[in-house]
Amino acid sequence: MRVFSTLANPWLCRCLPPAFVAMVWSLLSAGVLADQQCTSEDELPSVLQRVSAAVVNLRTSDATIGSGFVLDDGLIVTSAHLTAGRRLLILYQDGRRVPWHTLYVDRELDLAIARVEGTGLPHLTLRADTPSLGETVLALGNPFGLGLTVTRGIVSAQPRAIGQVHRLQTDAAINPGNSGGPLVDRQGRVVGMISARAAIGSGIGFAVPAAAIRKALEEATQVE
pLDDT at residue 161 in the model: 86
Which residue intervals of the chain are DSSP H helices?
2-7, 10-15, 18-38, 44-52, 80-83, 210-223
- The CATH fold assigned to 136-219 is Thrombin, subunit H (2.40.10)
- Residue 129: pLDDT band (50, 70, 90) is very high
pLDDT at residue 30 in the model: 47
**How far is it, in rounded angstroms, from Cα 35 to Cα 31?**
7
**How far is it, in rounded angstroms, from Cα 135 to Cα 179?**
21
Tens-place pLDDT, residues 59-95? 988 788 999 999 987 899 999 999 988 899 999 999 9
DSSP 8-class letter at 69: E
Q: Exposure of 223 by Cβ count < 10 A (0-12 exposed, 13-18 middle, 19+ buried)?
A: exposed
Tens-place pLDDT, residues 180-191? 999 999 999 999
Tens-place pLDDT, residues 14-69? 344 445 434 434 444 444 444 544 567 889 999 999 999 999 999 988 788 999 99
pLDDT at residue 7 in the model: 32
For residue 32, give the nearest of 157, 135, 154 by alpha carbon. 135
**Nearest 10 degrees: Cα torsion 165, 168, 169, 170:** -150
**How far is it, in rounded angstroms, from Cα 39 to Cα 169?**
22
Q: What is the pTM of this model?
A: 0.80
User: Who contacts 198 (Cβ-Cβ below 8 Å, separation ≥6)?
Assistant: 204, 205
Q: Which residue type occupies 3?
A: V
User: Who contacts 163 (Cβ-Cβ below 8 Å, separation ≥6)?
Assistant: none
- Domain 49-122 part of CATH 2.40.10.10: yes
- Residue 147: pLDDT band (50, 70, 90) is very high
Residue 170 has pLDDT above 70, yes or no: yes
For the annotated catalytic residues, the residue numbers are: 81, 110, 179
pLDDT at residue 172 in the model: 97
